[in-house]
Chain A
Amino acid sequence: MNSLSVYLTVAAVLFSLGLFGVLMRRNLIGMLISIELMLNGANLNFMAFNRFLAPEPAVGQIMALFIMGIAAAEAAIGLSIILALFRRLRSINVERAQRLRG
Protein backbone atom coordinates (compact mmCIF):
# COMPACT_ATOMS: atom_id res chain seq x y z
CA MET A 1 0.00 0.00 0.00
CA ASN A 2 1.77 3.14 -1.16
CA SER A 3 1.41 6.39 0.70
CA LEU A 4 -0.95 8.11 -1.79
CA SER A 5 -3.62 5.52 -1.23
CA VAL A 6 -3.26 5.89 2.54
CA TYR A 7 -4.08 9.58 2.25
CA LEU A 8 -6.92 8.89 -0.17
CA THR A 9 -8.39 6.29 2.19
CA VAL A 10 -8.23 8.67 5.14
CA ALA A 11 -9.86 11.40 3.06
CA ALA A 12 -12.61 9.05 1.89
CA VAL A 13 -13.23 7.95 5.49
CA LEU A 14 -13.44 11.59 6.66
CA PHE A 15 -15.84 12.38 3.85
CA SER A 16 -18.06 9.38 4.54
CA LEU A 17 -18.13 10.12 8.26
CA GLY A 18 -19.22 13.65 7.43
CA LEU A 19 -21.94 12.49 5.05
CA PHE A 20 -23.14 9.96 7.61
CA GLY A 21 -23.19 12.70 10.25
CA VAL A 22 -25.25 15.07 8.09
CA LEU A 23 -27.80 12.34 7.47
CA MET A 24 -27.96 10.97 11.02
CA ARG A 25 -27.37 13.87 13.42
CA ARG A 26 -30.46 15.60 14.76
CA ASN A 27 -28.57 18.58 16.13
CA LEU A 28 -28.00 21.49 13.74
CA ILE A 29 -24.53 22.32 15.11
CA GLY A 30 -23.59 18.65 14.75
CA MET A 31 -24.73 18.75 11.11
CA LEU A 32 -22.63 21.86 10.51
CA ILE A 33 -19.55 20.14 11.95
CA SER A 34 -20.22 17.10 9.76
CA ILE A 35 -20.26 19.34 6.68
CA GLU A 36 -16.88 20.73 7.73
CA LEU A 37 -15.61 17.13 7.93
CA MET A 38 -16.71 16.54 4.34
CA LEU A 39 -14.88 19.68 3.20
CA ASN A 40 -11.76 18.59 5.05
CA GLY A 41 -11.91 15.24 3.28
CA ALA A 42 -11.85 17.12 -0.03
CA ASN A 43 -8.98 19.27 1.26
CA LEU A 44 -6.90 16.24 2.15
CA ASN A 45 -7.54 14.80 -1.32
CA PHE A 46 -6.32 17.97 -2.97
CA MET A 47 -3.17 18.08 -0.86
CA ALA A 48 -2.38 14.39 -1.43
CA PHE A 49 -2.90 14.57 -5.19
CA ASN A 50 -0.83 17.72 -5.26
CA ARG A 51 2.03 16.16 -3.32
CA PHE A 52 2.23 12.89 -5.26
CA LEU A 53 0.90 13.51 -8.76
CA ALA A 54 0.49 17.09 -9.91
CA PRO A 55 3.15 18.61 -12.14
CA GLU A 56 2.32 22.09 -10.82
CA PRO A 57 3.20 22.07 -7.09
CA ALA A 58 1.00 24.95 -5.94
CA VAL A 59 -2.46 24.28 -7.42
CA GLY A 60 -3.74 21.83 -4.83
CA GLN A 61 -2.50 23.97 -1.95
CA ILE A 62 -4.27 27.04 -3.32
CA MET A 63 -7.47 25.00 -3.65
CA ALA A 64 -7.13 23.85 -0.04
CA LEU A 65 -6.60 27.41 1.19
CA PHE A 66 -9.65 28.67 -0.68
CA ILE A 67 -11.79 25.81 0.59
CA MET A 68 -10.78 26.66 4.17
CA GLY A 69 -11.75 30.30 3.65
CA ILE A 70 -15.07 29.36 2.08
CA ALA A 71 -15.78 26.85 4.85
CA ALA A 72 -15.35 29.64 7.39
CA ALA A 73 -17.79 31.89 5.51
CA GLU A 74 -20.21 28.98 5.27
CA ALA A 75 -20.01 28.35 9.01
CA ALA A 76 -20.70 32.04 9.69
CA ILE A 77 -23.81 32.04 7.53
CA GLY A 78 -24.97 28.70 8.89
CA LEU A 79 -24.54 29.78 12.51
CA SER A 80 -26.41 33.04 11.89
CA ILE A 81 -29.34 31.14 10.39
CA ILE A 82 -29.26 28.65 13.27
CA LEU A 83 -29.24 31.54 15.74
CA ALA A 84 -32.28 33.13 14.07
CA LEU A 85 -34.04 29.76 14.22
CA PHE A 86 -33.09 29.30 17.89
CA ARG A 87 -34.61 32.68 18.79
CA ARG A 88 -37.97 31.57 17.38
CA LEU A 89 -38.05 27.91 18.38
CA ARG A 90 -35.83 27.85 21.51
CA SER A 91 -34.22 24.67 20.14
CA ILE A 92 -31.61 23.57 17.64
CA ASN A 93 -33.00 20.12 17.11
CA VAL A 94 -34.22 19.43 13.59
CA GLU A 95 -37.14 17.33 14.85
CA ARG A 96 -38.61 20.49 16.30
CA ALA A 97 -38.31 22.25 12.95
CA GLN A 98 -40.50 20.07 10.80
CA ARG A 99 -43.80 21.63 10.01
CA LEU A 100 -43.66 21.61 6.21
CA ARG A 101 -44.52 18.24 4.76
CA GLY A 102 -46.00 16.54 1.69
Chain B
Amino acid sequence: MMKWTLFTPELYYVAVASVFFLCSLEKKADPRRLYRWAVILAGVGLAVTVACARMEGFLFFDSYKVDLFSQVFKIFLALGMFFVTMVCSELYGIEPRKHAEFYFLLSICTLAMMMLVSAVELLTIYIALELSSYSLYLLVPMRHRADEYVETGIKYFMVGATASALMIFGMSYLFGITHTTYVADIIRKLPEVLNQPAAVVGLLLALGGFFFKQALFPFHIWAPDVYQGAANQVTTYIATASKMAAAAMVIRFVGMSTGQSEVFIQVLVALSILSMTFGNLVAIVQKDIKRLLAYSSIAHAGYMLIGILCMTQRGYSSAVYYALAYLVMNFACFMVIIKVAPDGHNLQIKELAGLHKRSPLLAMTLMLALFGLAGIPPTLGFTGKFLVFAAALEKGYLMLVIIGMINATISLYYYLIVIKAAYLLEPVREYGPVRVDPWTRVMSAALVIAMVYVGIFPDRFVALAEAAVSVLP
Protein backbone atom coordinates (compact mmCIF):
# COMPACT_ATOMS: atom_id res chain seq x y z
CA MET B 1 0.00 0.00 0.00
CA MET B 2 2.91 2.32 0.76
CA LYS B 3 3.97 2.05 -2.85
CA TRP B 4 1.15 4.29 -4.00
CA THR B 5 2.84 7.31 -2.40
CA LEU B 6 5.38 7.04 -5.22
CA PHE B 7 2.58 7.88 -7.61
CA THR B 8 1.49 11.03 -5.71
CA PRO B 9 2.29 13.72 -8.32
CA GLU B 10 0.49 11.76 -11.05
CA LEU B 11 -2.52 11.08 -8.84
CA TYR B 12 -2.63 14.76 -7.97
CA TYR B 13 -2.80 15.72 -11.64
CA VAL B 14 -5.51 13.10 -12.23
CA ALA B 15 -7.51 14.85 -9.49
CA VAL B 16 -6.88 18.27 -11.05
CA ALA B 17 -8.00 16.95 -14.43
CA SER B 18 -11.20 15.56 -12.89
CA VAL B 19 -11.95 18.92 -11.25
CA PHE B 20 -11.70 20.70 -14.58
CA PHE B 21 -13.63 17.94 -16.32
CA LEU B 22 -16.52 18.55 -13.89
CA CYS B 23 -16.20 22.31 -14.49
CA SER B 24 -16.46 21.73 -18.24
CA LEU B 25 -19.85 20.07 -17.69
CA GLU B 26 -21.22 23.22 -16.09
CA LYS B 27 -23.39 25.42 -18.29
CA LYS B 28 -21.63 28.63 -17.41
CA ALA B 29 -18.24 28.69 -15.76
CA ASP B 30 -16.78 32.07 -14.91
CA PRO B 31 -13.38 32.39 -16.67
CA ARG B 32 -11.94 34.53 -13.84
CA ARG B 33 -12.83 31.92 -11.26
CA LEU B 34 -11.46 29.10 -13.41
CA TYR B 35 -8.21 31.02 -13.84
CA ARG B 36 -7.84 31.55 -10.10
CA TRP B 37 -8.42 27.86 -9.43
CA ALA B 38 -6.06 26.80 -12.20
CA VAL B 39 -3.24 28.94 -10.78
CA ILE B 40 -3.83 27.65 -7.25
CA LEU B 41 -4.05 24.00 -8.32
CA ALA B 42 -0.98 24.26 -10.57
CA GLY B 43 0.94 25.98 -7.75
CA VAL B 44 0.02 23.23 -5.29
CA GLY B 45 0.95 20.69 -7.97
CA LEU B 46 4.42 22.21 -8.23
CA ALA B 47 4.77 22.01 -4.43
CA VAL B 48 3.59 18.37 -4.40
CA THR B 49 6.04 17.43 -7.14
CA VAL B 50 8.93 19.15 -5.35
CA ALA B 51 7.96 17.39 -2.11
CA CYS B 52 8.13 14.02 -3.92
CA ALA B 53 11.55 14.76 -5.43
CA ARG B 54 13.50 12.31 -3.30
CA MET B 55 11.28 9.28 -3.83
CA GLU B 56 12.63 6.10 -5.39
CA GLY B 57 11.11 2.81 -6.40
CA PHE B 58 9.32 0.70 -8.99
CA LEU B 59 5.61 0.43 -9.73
CA PHE B 60 3.31 -1.63 -11.98
CA PHE B 61 5.44 -4.76 -12.54
CA ASP B 62 8.63 -2.69 -12.81
CA SER B 63 7.38 -0.85 -15.87
CA TYR B 64 7.33 2.46 -14.02
CA LYS B 65 10.49 3.74 -12.37
CA VAL B 66 10.50 6.62 -9.92
CA ASP B 67 14.03 7.99 -9.47
CA LEU B 68 15.81 11.31 -9.24
CA PHE B 69 16.04 11.61 -13.04
CA SER B 70 12.30 11.25 -13.53
CA GLN B 71 11.47 13.40 -10.50
CA VAL B 72 13.68 16.26 -11.69
CA PHE B 73 11.91 16.22 -15.05
CA LYS B 74 8.54 16.04 -13.28
CA ILE B 75 9.49 19.23 -11.42
CA PHE B 76 10.33 20.87 -14.77
CA LEU B 77 6.95 19.75 -16.14
CA ALA B 78 5.03 20.99 -13.10
CA LEU B 79 6.95 24.26 -13.36
CA GLY B 80 6.02 24.54 -17.03
CA MET B 81 2.35 23.91 -16.30
CA PHE B 82 2.43 26.50 -13.47
CA PHE B 83 4.08 29.08 -15.75
CA VAL B 84 1.50 28.52 -18.48
CA THR B 85 -1.51 28.80 -16.15
CA MET B 86 0.00 32.01 -14.72
CA VAL B 87 -0.25 33.74 -18.11
CA CYS B 88 -3.83 32.58 -18.76
CA SER B 89 -5.38 35.66 -17.11
CA GLU B 90 -6.30 37.05 -20.53
CA LEU B 91 -7.14 33.88 -22.38
CA TYR B 92 -8.75 35.52 -25.42
CA GLY B 93 -7.24 32.97 -27.80
CA ILE B 94 -9.75 30.37 -26.56
CA GLU B 95 -13.52 30.72 -26.53
CA PRO B 96 -14.69 31.52 -22.94
CA ARG B 97 -17.04 28.52 -23.00
CA LYS B 98 -14.09 26.18 -23.57
CA HIS B 99 -11.76 27.44 -20.83
CA ALA B 100 -12.53 24.52 -18.52
CA GLU B 101 -11.73 22.07 -21.33
CA PHE B 102 -8.50 23.94 -22.01
CA TYR B 103 -7.33 23.51 -18.40
CA PHE B 104 -8.55 19.89 -18.43
CA LEU B 105 -6.47 19.02 -21.49
CA LEU B 106 -3.51 20.94 -20.06
CA SER B 107 -3.53 18.88 -16.86
CA ILE B 108 -4.04 15.60 -18.75
CA CYS B 109 -1.09 16.46 -20.96
CA THR B 110 1.09 17.26 -17.94
CA LEU B 111 0.02 13.97 -16.34
CA ALA B 112 0.86 12.02 -19.50
CA MET B 113 4.29 13.59 -19.78
CA MET B 114 5.02 12.88 -16.12
CA MET B 115 4.17 9.23 -16.82
CA LEU B 116 6.35 9.38 -19.92
CA VAL B 117 9.51 10.44 -18.07
CA SER B 118 8.99 7.64 -15.51
CA ALA B 119 8.10 4.88 -17.98
CA VAL B 120 10.81 2.25 -18.52
CA GLU B 121 8.85 -0.22 -20.62
CA LEU B 122 8.11 0.15 -24.33
CA LEU B 123 4.33 -0.20 -24.14
CA THR B 124 4.08 2.22 -21.19
CA ILE B 125 6.25 4.71 -23.06
CA TYR B 126 4.12 4.42 -26.18
CA ILE B 127 0.83 4.89 -24.34
CA ALA B 128 2.06 7.82 -22.26
CA LEU B 129 3.43 9.50 -25.38
CA GLU B 130 0.17 9.01 -27.27
CA LEU B 131 -1.88 10.37 -24.36
CA SER B 132 0.21 13.54 -24.24
CA SER B 133 0.09 13.92 -28.03
CA TYR B 134 -3.69 13.49 -28.20
CA SER B 135 -4.27 16.27 -25.68
CA LEU B 136 -2.03 18.55 -27.72
CA TYR B 137 -3.73 17.56 -31.02
CA LEU B 138 -6.97 18.82 -29.46
CA LEU B 139 -5.49 21.94 -27.85
CA VAL B 140 -3.95 23.25 -31.06
CA PRO B 141 -7.14 23.64 -33.19
CA MET B 142 -9.03 25.11 -30.22
CA ARG B 143 -8.07 28.65 -31.19
CA HIS B 144 -10.91 31.09 -31.28
CA ARG B 145 -11.72 33.15 -34.41
CA ALA B 146 -8.76 31.93 -36.42
CA ASP B 147 -9.99 31.03 -39.87
CA GLU B 148 -6.59 31.69 -41.39
CA TYR B 149 -5.03 29.03 -39.17
CA VAL B 150 -7.58 26.23 -39.59
CA GLU B 151 -5.15 23.80 -41.17
CA THR B 152 -2.69 23.96 -38.27
CA GLY B 153 -4.49 21.30 -36.26
CA ILE B 154 -4.59 18.75 -39.06
CA LYS B 155 -0.95 19.35 -40.01
CA TYR B 156 0.11 18.75 -36.42
CA PHE B 157 -2.03 15.62 -36.23
CA MET B 158 -0.76 14.10 -39.47
CA VAL B 159 2.94 14.70 -38.73
CA GLY B 160 2.49 13.52 -35.15
CA ALA B 161 0.59 10.35 -36.06
CA THR B 162 3.18 9.48 -38.71
CA ALA B 163 6.02 10.03 -36.23
CA SER B 164 4.36 7.81 -33.65
CA ALA B 165 3.77 5.09 -36.27
CA LEU B 166 7.49 5.25 -37.13
CA MET B 167 8.26 4.98 -33.43
CA ILE B 168 6.12 1.91 -32.78
CA PHE B 169 7.56 0.23 -35.88
CA GLY B 170 11.06 0.89 -34.57
CA MET B 171 10.05 -0.46 -31.18
CA SER B 172 8.83 -3.66 -32.83
CA TYR B 173 12.37 -4.22 -34.20
CA LEU B 174 13.87 -3.52 -30.78
CA PHE B 175 11.47 -6.09 -29.32
CA GLY B 176 12.30 -8.60 -32.01
CA ILE B 177 16.04 -8.29 -31.49
CA THR B 178 16.17 -8.19 -27.70
CA HIS B 179 12.99 -10.23 -26.97
CA THR B 180 11.99 -7.93 -24.16
CA THR B 181 10.12 -4.67 -23.71
CA TYR B 182 11.90 -3.49 -20.56
CA VAL B 183 14.35 -0.67 -21.19
CA ALA B 184 16.82 -1.98 -18.61
CA ASP B 185 16.97 -5.41 -20.31
CA ILE B 186 17.21 -3.81 -23.74
CA ILE B 187 20.21 -1.79 -22.57
CA ARG B 188 21.84 -5.00 -21.34
CA LYS B 189 21.26 -6.93 -24.58
CA LEU B 190 21.49 -4.25 -27.24
CA PRO B 191 25.29 -3.57 -27.31
CA GLU B 192 25.99 -7.18 -28.41
CA VAL B 193 23.62 -6.97 -31.36
CA LEU B 194 24.12 -3.34 -32.33
CA ASN B 195 26.21 -4.32 -35.35
CA GLN B 196 23.02 -5.65 -36.96
CA PRO B 197 21.33 -3.07 -39.19
CA ALA B 198 17.89 -3.91 -37.76
CA ALA B 199 18.98 -2.76 -34.30
CA VAL B 200 20.26 0.62 -35.51
CA VAL B 201 17.22 1.16 -37.72
CA GLY B 202 14.90 0.19 -34.87
CA LEU B 203 16.58 2.53 -32.42
CA LEU B 204 16.55 5.44 -34.87
CA LEU B 205 12.90 4.92 -35.81
CA ALA B 206 11.97 4.61 -32.13
CA LEU B 207 13.71 7.92 -31.50
CA GLY B 208 11.61 9.49 -34.28
CA GLY B 209 8.59 9.88 -32.00
CA PHE B 210 10.60 11.94 -29.52
CA PHE B 211 12.39 13.91 -32.23
CA PHE B 212 8.92 14.92 -33.39
CA LYS B 213 8.10 16.26 -29.92
CA GLN B 214 11.44 18.04 -29.78
CA ALA B 215 11.05 19.41 -33.34
CA LEU B 216 14.41 18.05 -34.45
CA PHE B 217 15.33 18.29 -38.13
CA PRO B 218 13.42 15.67 -40.17
CA PHE B 219 10.38 15.99 -37.90
CA HIS B 220 10.35 19.78 -37.56
CA ILE B 221 7.81 20.57 -40.31
CA TRP B 222 4.95 21.12 -37.89
CA ALA B 223 6.75 23.53 -35.56
CA PRO B 224 6.47 26.90 -37.37
CA ASP B 225 2.84 26.40 -38.42
CA VAL B 226 1.72 25.13 -35.03
CA TYR B 227 3.57 27.87 -33.13
CA GLN B 228 1.91 30.44 -35.36
CA GLY B 229 -1.53 28.85 -35.54
CA ALA B 230 -2.14 27.79 -31.95
CA ALA B 231 -3.35 30.18 -29.26
CA ASN B 232 -0.46 32.01 -27.54
CA GLN B 233 -0.83 30.07 -24.29
CA VAL B 234 -0.95 26.70 -26.07
CA THR B 235 2.19 27.64 -27.99
CA THR B 236 3.86 28.52 -24.70
CA TYR B 237 2.99 25.09 -23.35
CA ILE B 238 4.26 23.26 -26.44
CA ALA B 239 7.45 25.32 -26.45
CA THR B 240 8.26 24.76 -22.79
CA ALA B 241 6.76 21.75 -21.01
CA SER B 242 6.40 19.42 -23.99
CA LYS B 243 10.08 19.95 -24.91
CA MET B 244 11.16 18.82 -21.44
CA ALA B 245 9.50 15.40 -21.69
CA ALA B 246 10.96 14.88 -25.16
CA ALA B 247 14.46 15.75 -23.95
CA ALA B 248 14.16 13.26 -21.08
CA MET B 249 13.07 10.46 -23.41
CA VAL B 250 15.77 11.18 -26.00
CA ILE B 251 18.33 10.93 -23.17
CA ARG B 252 16.85 7.57 -22.10
CA PHE B 253 16.75 6.09 -25.60
CA VAL B 254 20.12 7.34 -26.80
CA GLY B 255 21.54 5.85 -23.60
CA MET B 256 20.30 2.45 -24.83
CA SER B 257 23.07 2.24 -27.41
CA THR B 258 25.80 2.94 -24.77
CA GLY B 259 27.99 4.50 -27.44
CA GLN B 260 28.73 1.18 -29.18
CA SER B 261 27.63 2.00 -32.69
CA GLU B 262 29.58 4.40 -34.89
CA VAL B 263 26.76 4.66 -37.45
CA PHE B 264 24.24 5.62 -34.78
CA ILE B 265 26.47 8.41 -33.43
CA GLN B 266 27.17 9.70 -36.95
CA VAL B 267 23.45 9.90 -37.74
CA LEU B 268 22.85 11.84 -34.52
CA VAL B 269 25.72 14.23 -35.31
CA ALA B 270 24.27 14.81 -38.78
CA LEU B 271 20.78 15.45 -37.40
CA SER B 272 22.14 17.86 -34.81
CA ILE B 273 24.11 19.86 -37.41
CA LEU B 274 21.21 19.95 -39.89
CA SER B 275 18.78 20.99 -37.17
CA MET B 276 20.94 23.86 -35.90
CA THR B 277 21.86 25.18 -39.32
CA PHE B 278 18.41 24.92 -40.85
CA GLY B 279 16.66 26.45 -37.81
CA ASN B 280 19.01 29.39 -37.54
CA LEU B 281 19.15 30.21 -41.25
CA VAL B 282 15.39 30.19 -41.77
CA ALA B 283 14.73 32.12 -38.57
CA ILE B 284 16.55 35.15 -40.00
CA VAL B 285 13.79 36.05 -42.48
CA GLN B 286 10.81 35.66 -40.13
CA LYS B 287 8.48 38.58 -39.38
CA ASP B 288 6.14 36.88 -36.91
CA ILE B 289 7.85 36.50 -33.55
CA LYS B 290 6.17 33.18 -32.70
CA ARG B 291 7.36 31.75 -36.00
CA LEU B 292 10.84 33.06 -35.28
CA LEU B 293 10.83 31.31 -31.89
CA ALA B 294 9.66 28.10 -33.60
CA TYR B 295 12.73 28.08 -35.85
CA SER B 296 14.90 28.97 -32.88
CA SER B 297 13.42 25.97 -31.03
CA ILE B 298 14.47 23.70 -33.94
CA ALA B 299 18.00 25.08 -33.57
CA HIS B 300 17.95 24.59 -29.80
CA ALA B 301 16.89 20.96 -30.19
CA GLY B 302 20.11 20.59 -32.19
CA TYR B 303 22.24 22.13 -29.42
CA MET B 304 20.61 19.88 -26.83
CA LEU B 305 21.35 16.84 -28.99
CA ILE B 306 25.08 17.75 -28.99
CA GLY B 307 25.13 17.17 -25.24
CA ILE B 308 23.11 13.98 -25.48
CA LEU B 309 25.09 12.36 -28.29
CA CYS B 310 28.30 12.53 -26.21
CA MET B 311 26.74 9.64 -24.24
CA THR B 312 28.77 10.51 -21.17
CA GLN B 313 27.44 11.45 -17.74
CA ARG B 314 28.77 14.92 -18.40
CA GLY B 315 26.94 15.18 -21.71
CA TYR B 316 23.63 14.07 -20.25
CA SER B 317 23.89 16.41 -17.26
CA SER B 318 24.71 19.32 -19.56
CA ALA B 319 21.61 18.46 -21.61
CA VAL B 320 19.45 18.42 -18.46
CA TYR B 321 20.83 21.83 -17.44
CA TYR B 322 20.27 23.10 -20.97
CA ALA B 323 16.67 21.89 -20.83
CA LEU B 324 16.05 23.83 -17.60
CA ALA B 325 17.69 26.94 -19.06
CA TYR B 326 15.60 26.62 -22.21
CA LEU B 327 12.39 26.26 -20.18
CA VAL B 328 13.02 29.48 -18.24
CA MET B 329 14.28 31.59 -21.17
CA ASN B 330 11.60 30.49 -23.60
CA PHE B 331 8.88 31.05 -21.06
CA ALA B 332 10.18 34.57 -20.40
CA CYS B 333 9.94 35.35 -24.15
CA PHE B 334 6.42 33.99 -24.43
CA MET B 335 5.26 35.81 -21.31
CA VAL B 336 6.31 39.10 -22.87
CA ILE B 337 4.57 38.17 -26.15
CA ILE B 338 1.34 37.31 -24.34
CA LYS B 339 1.39 40.52 -22.31
CA VAL B 340 2.15 42.76 -25.29
CA ALA B 341 -0.67 41.12 -27.31
CA PRO B 342 -3.37 40.79 -24.64
CA ASP B 343 -6.14 40.21 -27.22
CA GLY B 344 -4.34 37.05 -28.32
CA HIS B 345 -3.35 38.02 -31.86
CA ASN B 346 -0.05 36.99 -33.40
CA LEU B 347 2.61 39.52 -32.56
CA GLN B 348 4.77 40.86 -35.40
CA ILE B 349 8.31 41.91 -34.56
CA LYS B 350 7.66 45.53 -35.57
CA GLU B 351 4.83 45.74 -33.03
CA LEU B 352 7.44 45.50 -30.30
CA ALA B 353 8.75 48.95 -31.32
CA GLY B 354 9.26 51.27 -28.38
CA LEU B 355 8.52 48.57 -25.82
CA HIS B 356 11.19 49.96 -23.51
CA LYS B 357 9.05 53.09 -23.06
CA ARG B 358 5.72 51.30 -22.88
CA SER B 359 6.91 48.78 -20.33
CA PRO B 360 10.57 48.87 -19.28
CA LEU B 361 10.28 45.74 -17.13
CA LEU B 362 8.90 43.57 -19.93
CA ALA B 363 11.48 44.96 -22.35
CA MET B 364 14.27 44.01 -19.96
CA THR B 365 12.85 40.52 -19.43
CA LEU B 366 12.66 40.04 -23.20
CA MET B 367 16.21 41.31 -23.69
CA LEU B 368 17.69 39.01 -21.05
CA ALA B 369 15.71 36.01 -22.34
CA LEU B 370 16.86 36.60 -25.92
CA PHE B 371 20.46 37.15 -24.78
CA GLY B 372 20.11 33.85 -22.95
CA LEU B 373 18.79 32.06 -26.04
CA ALA B 374 21.70 33.50 -28.04
CA GLY B 375 24.16 32.47 -25.31
CA ILE B 376 25.58 35.77 -24.09
CA PRO B 377 27.61 35.51 -20.86
CA PRO B 378 25.85 36.66 -17.73
CA THR B 379 22.74 34.57 -18.45
CA LEU B 380 21.98 30.91 -17.92
CA GLY B 381 21.84 30.30 -21.68
CA PHE B 382 25.59 30.94 -21.88
CA THR B 383 26.31 28.47 -19.09
CA GLY B 384 24.10 25.86 -20.78
CA LYS B 385 25.87 26.23 -24.14
CA PHE B 386 29.25 26.25 -22.39
CA LEU B 387 28.51 22.97 -20.58
CA VAL B 388 27.18 21.29 -23.74
CA PHE B 389 30.16 22.34 -25.86
CA ALA B 390 32.60 21.41 -23.06
CA ALA B 391 31.11 17.91 -22.89
CA ALA B 392 31.43 17.55 -26.68
CA LEU B 393 35.05 18.75 -26.65
CA GLU B 394 35.87 16.22 -23.96
CA LYS B 395 34.77 13.50 -26.39
CA GLY B 396 36.80 15.10 -29.19
CA TYR B 397 33.98 16.35 -31.41
CA LEU B 398 35.87 19.51 -32.38
CA MET B 399 34.13 20.05 -35.73
CA LEU B 400 30.72 19.73 -34.12
CA VAL B 401 31.60 22.38 -31.52
CA ILE B 402 32.91 24.75 -34.20
CA ILE B 403 29.71 24.36 -36.23
CA GLY B 404 27.71 24.93 -33.05
CA MET B 405 29.65 28.13 -32.33
CA ILE B 406 29.12 29.44 -35.86
CA ASN B 407 25.42 28.73 -35.45
CA ALA B 408 25.29 30.55 -32.12
CA THR B 409 26.74 33.59 -33.91
CA ILE B 410 24.16 33.39 -36.71
CA SER B 411 21.38 33.14 -34.14
CA LEU B 412 22.63 36.28 -32.39
CA TYR B 413 21.68 38.22 -35.53
CA TYR B 414 17.95 37.52 -35.44
CA TYR B 415 17.70 37.75 -31.66
CA LEU B 416 19.30 41.19 -31.94
CA ILE B 417 16.72 42.22 -34.56
CA VAL B 418 14.01 41.62 -31.96
CA ILE B 419 15.94 43.44 -29.24
CA LYS B 420 16.57 46.32 -31.65
CA ALA B 421 12.83 46.53 -32.30
CA ALA B 422 12.09 46.66 -28.57
CA TYR B 423 14.79 49.20 -27.66
CA LEU B 424 15.79 51.33 -30.65
CA LEU B 425 12.94 51.49 -33.15
CA GLU B 426 10.31 54.18 -32.88
CA PRO B 427 6.78 52.84 -33.37
CA VAL B 428 5.32 53.76 -36.77
CA ARG B 429 1.87 54.08 -35.27
CA GLU B 430 0.61 54.53 -31.74
CA TYR B 431 0.25 51.21 -29.92
CA GLY B 432 -1.92 51.04 -26.84
CA PRO B 433 -0.20 50.99 -23.46
CA VAL B 434 0.84 47.59 -22.12
CA ARG B 435 -1.11 46.71 -19.01
CA VAL B 436 1.17 45.00 -16.50
CA ASP B 437 -0.56 43.64 -13.42
CA PRO B 438 1.33 43.14 -10.14
CA TRP B 439 1.59 39.36 -10.67
CA THR B 440 3.31 39.87 -14.00
CA ARG B 441 5.74 42.29 -12.35
CA VAL B 442 6.59 39.67 -9.73
CA MET B 443 6.98 36.99 -12.41
CA SER B 444 9.20 39.19 -14.59
CA ALA B 445 11.40 40.14 -11.66
CA ALA B 446 11.66 36.50 -10.58
CA LEU B 447 12.53 35.37 -14.12
CA VAL B 448 15.16 38.10 -14.53
CA ILE B 449 16.76 37.19 -11.19
CA ALA B 450 16.60 33.46 -12.01
CA MET B 451 18.15 33.94 -15.46
CA VAL B 452 21.10 35.90 -14.06
CA TYR B 453 21.53 34.01 -10.78
CA VAL B 454 21.46 30.51 -12.30
CA GLY B 455 23.80 31.77 -15.01
CA ILE B 456 26.41 33.15 -12.63
CA PHE B 457 26.16 30.49 -9.91
CA PRO B 458 25.28 27.31 -11.79
CA ASP B 459 27.07 24.94 -9.36
CA ARG B 460 24.04 23.75 -7.43
CA PHE B 461 21.95 23.24 -10.52
CA VAL B 462 24.74 21.43 -12.34
CA ALA B 463 25.20 19.23 -9.26
CA LEU B 464 21.48 18.47 -9.31
CA ALA B 465 21.61 17.60 -13.02
CA GLU B 466 24.63 15.35 -12.42
CA ALA B 467 22.89 13.59 -9.54
CA ALA B 468 19.82 13.12 -11.74
CA VAL B 469 21.67 11.49 -14.64
CA SER B 470 23.82 9.34 -12.35
CA VAL B 471 20.81 7.10 -11.67
CA LEU B 472 20.42 6.31 -15.38
CA PRO B 473 21.40 2.71 -16.14
| Residues of A that sit less than 8 Å from B by CB | 11, 15, 18-19, 22, 28, 31-32, 35, 38-39, 41-42, 45-46, 48-49, 53-56, 59-60, 62-63, 66-67, 70, 73-74, 77-78, 81-82, 84-85, 88-89, 94, 97-100, 102
Contact = CB atoms under 8 A, between A and B. Distances in A.
B162 A35 contact: yes
A42 B180 CA distance: 16
Given A42-B168, A53-B179, A63-B181, 7 more contacts: A28-B154, A39-B168, A66-B126, A70-B127, A78-B157, A89-B150, A97-B151
A100 B149 contact: yes
A42 B176 contact: no
A40 to B, nearest CB: 10
Q: Ordered nearest first, which 3 A-B pairs have the shortest CB separation?
A: A97-B151, A45-B172, A49-B176
B123 A62 contact: yes
B152 interface: yes
Question: Which of B151, B172, B176 counts the most A-chain CB atoms under 10 A from its CB?
Answer: B172
B165 A18 contact: yes
A19 B162 contact: yes
B153 A85 contact: yes
A67 B154 contact: no
Interface of B: 122-123, 126-127, 130, 134, 137-138, 141, 147-155, 157-158, 161-162, 165-166, 168-169, 171-173, 175-176, 179-181, 224-225, 228-229, 285-286, 291
A49 to B, nearest CB: 4
B453 to A, nearest CB: 38
A53 B176 contact: yes
A63 B162 contact: no
A55 B185 CA distance: 14
Contacts of B126: 66-67, 70
Contact of B165 (A39, A49, A82, A85): A39
Interface majority SS (helix, strand, loop, mixed), chain B: helix
Contact of B158 (A22, A70, A99): A22
A63 B155 CA distance: 27
B172 A46 contact: yes
A67 B168 contact: yes
Contact of A38 (B149, B162, B285): B162
A31 B153 contact: no
A38 B148 contact: no
22 contacts: A35-B161, A35-B165, A38-B162, A42-B168, A46-B175, A53-B176, A54-B175, A56-B179, A63-B122, A63-B172, A66-B126, A73-B130, A74-B130, A77-B134, A77-B137, A84-B141, A84-B150, A88-B147, A100-B149, A100-B229, A102-B285, A102-B291
A99 B152 CA distance: 10
A70 B127 CA distance: 8
B127 A66 contact: yes
Nearest to B167: A42
A15 B175 contact: no
Nearest to A22: B162
B162 A70 contact: no
Contacts of B225: 100
A97 B148 CA distance: 10
Contacts of B179: 49, 53-56
Question: Which of B158, B225, B228 counts the most A-chain CB atoms under 10 A from its CB?
Answer: B158
Given A88-B150, A100-B152, A63 B158 contact: no
B176 A41 contact: no
B168 A85 contact: no
A14 to B, nearest CB: 10
Nearest to B150: A88
Contacts of B285: 102
